[in-house]
A and B are shown apart, each in its own frame.
Chain A
């Protein structure tokens, strides 16, 4: 299959990378802004794809070279003709101090992607809003919560545990507008 790297969609790229890693015996989970892009059908378009893997970075680099991606810095990979870059973030897959064990398995025409669920994507973005006061992260959390079915009681409980009840209320107030 010929890949149009210049115009590739983030969802298909996530699947192509996931399948290549899988072929090489590497499990990886898509997290971060790319999940927001996929769940909002690119209302927000991330420029990078973050994967969490427990595999050694040299094994990842070997697999990624099979797709023509070169290691740019210690954990970033780029391909000249592709607008997205790929980052492998340090494990574990966690939000706050909670390990994440249940994932969405998204099927695309290019293969499967294991990724954060919509609820965990909202929590992940809210974590950035809670800890770094990042207003973009709040907007992204809202976009996902509006476009996808999310478990509000899980989000409320987790926010309270993280000590951010007030900021969670601000998020919920915006969500109900």
Chain B
């Protein structure tokens, strides 16, 4: 939907993921969209170099979120929120409504 603006569809998927879930990591995003992890990592790096996302290392996993210090953060969030409304329900269900509440360790699925 925003591919023409961002230059590729991966950026759009990453930004919607970070908007909806608040944070994400390369492998998780790659699995969600069935995309190669190196492609996601490359675009996350591009966004980080631009100051749009920020990351921190937790254990061995690098967690990304929208950068709270990005000067156009409010405007970007407003734009993404508006654009999110136009995503088909089926797509929202598949990609942006994954369980985020805790699951106790050892609990059978």
Interface residues of A (CB under 8 A from B): 74-75, 89-90, 92, 94-99, 127-128, 131-132
Contacts and interface: CB of A to CB of B under 8 A. Distances in A.
B65 to A, nearest CB: 10
A132 B71 CA distance: 16
B49 A74 contact: yes
B75 to A, nearest CB: 9
B68 interface: yes
B69 A131 contact: yes
Nearest to B68: A131
Contact of A90 (B51, B68, B73, B74): B51
Main secondary structure of the interface of A (DSSP, over half): mixed
B51 A99 contact: no
Interface of B: 45, 49-51, 54, 56, 68-69, 71-74
Contact of A75 (B49, B56, B71, B74): B49
Contacts of B51: 89-90
Among B51, B68, B69, B72, the most chain A Cβ lie within 10 Å of the Cβ of B69
22 contacts: A74-B45, A74-B49, A75-B49, A90-B49, A90-B50, A90-B51, A92-B71, A95-B69, A96-B69, A96-B71, A97-B71, A97-B72, A97-B73, A97-B74, A98-B71, A99-B71, A128-B69, A131-B68, A131-B69, A132-B54, A132-B56, A132-B68
Contacts of B74: 97
Contacts of A97: 71-74
Given A74-B45, A97-B74, A98-B71, 16 more contacts: A74-B49, A90-B50, A90-B51, A92-B71, A94-B71, A95-B69, A96-B69, A97-B71, A97-B72, A97-B73, A99-B71, A127-B69, A131-B68, A132-B54, A132-B56, A132-B68
Contacts of B56: 132
A97 B73 CA distance: 8
